[in-house]
Structure 1
Amino acid sequence: MIIDVHAHWGPWFFTMDVAGATLPAMDRYGIDLAIVSASEAVIYDAPAGNRALAETLPDRCHGYVTVNPRRLADAERDLRTYLPGGRFVGVKIHTDYTDSPVTSTRMRDALELVAAHGVPALVHTWGASVLDLARLCLDIPGLRVIAGHMGADGFRHAIEAARSCDRLYLEPCWSHFPAGRIAEVAASVDPGQLLFGTDSTLIDPASAYGAVAAANLPADVAELVAWRNAADLFSLPVG
């Protein structure tokens, strides 16, 4: 089984929709379940994108409620609307598109709101911002966060971050995959903090799939990364 914790639904505003539609992309690589955010919600209008995703959430997909830290009243309404149905299982926050750095007051307020609702948050990280996310996670009781891209080129910062906070999880998708990146991270952190993510449909799942396969993870760790950790973190009914 494979669970993709970083995927998207809907068209992009540029021509990098390389993976095509969500379900065909999943089928090509044997991805059984995906947790998706609406591209419209991430890059343009969170409430409108969340509403559109709720109306057409594909089979084999669960949803992220996208939160814009600059629109917390809308976020609170959407969390109360969509989380109780069970199809939405977490929150997505993109720090760059919302101009909300991890160190900002508005991001703290947003993540405190997420923690109050008891669901994990997938947060865009790049470089050393993953360290800021770990510190924020430690400061907010009960918060569970996924460092999207595990810091990208800052993956060694992600190792430090995960070691400092056991409620911070790492997923690897990135448009570049330096040799040895995933193997180094997997050998350096608790395997229970590792997840699989592709950034589909923005990036073809082949990128993350091949990089994880090339890491030659031990069978027990590979299973945790592929689906067990995600199933536990999001309380997904699998088996």
Structure 2
Amino acid sequence: MIGLVLAAGAGRRLRPYTDTLPKALVPVIDPEGGDARTVLDLTLANFAEVGLTEAAVVVGYRKEAIEERRADLERRYGVKLTLVENDKAEEWNNAYSLWCAREVIAEGVILANGDTVHPASVERTLLAARGEGRRIILALDTVKDLADEEMKVVADPEKGVRRITKLMDPSEATGEYIGVTLIEPEAAAELADALRTTYERDPQLYYEDGYQELVHRGFHLDTAPIGEVSWVEIDNHDDLARGREIACRY
């Protein structure tokens, strides 16, 4: 099992930071006179904390910024990094981005979005949920009050995930998918095919639409509730302020 980070996006709502950096390298912890830490730093630290020694990062927009930091990140977190290029990062959405990492997924991965600040307890929860035939396990926040923008999930105790979409009445949802998934090697081929079907239908679809495609095909997706955990998906400057507040606690 290795780590996988989706870090190809431009993050235009975080300008001017993202004029020169991918979203995953926007500083989250920026102490005076010290080294800034980014979402990518925090995620790699989480991987290291749960014993992962290898990780892949899907790069695209401003990929050179991650390439320049690669050796330092490897040294700092003790995680060997492989960079996977998304050649359509500024044109297509992340269903294609995850498909680009299909060979990595075949090794079994903990996938983390490159804009999600969260503690290592999330990865530990997913690892603890392995077994009993579970092939894909989504980290689910069942505590947070939901609104329209969240990636909402309806999950059945017996049948697993039934719906995953932002386009749902929040009152219908079991919880919010936080952007972290454990994917076993046995699921890789089916997931890759579902992702391809998804981006070929519409290049602007999310990889979560690929998860929904799997559900339509009868694939059982599981969830693991993360408990009362502080986390945030960083899309804009308000989210960034929240991320900085949260990250200082870890």
Task: Determine if the TM-score, normalized by the shorter chain, exceeds 0.5.
Answer: no
Q: Which has the higher strand share?
A: 2
Q: Which has the higher helix share?
A: 1
> Which one scores higher on RCO, CA 8 angstroms, separation ≥ 6?
2
Per the normalisation by structure 1, the TM-score is 0.32
Larger radius of gyration: 2
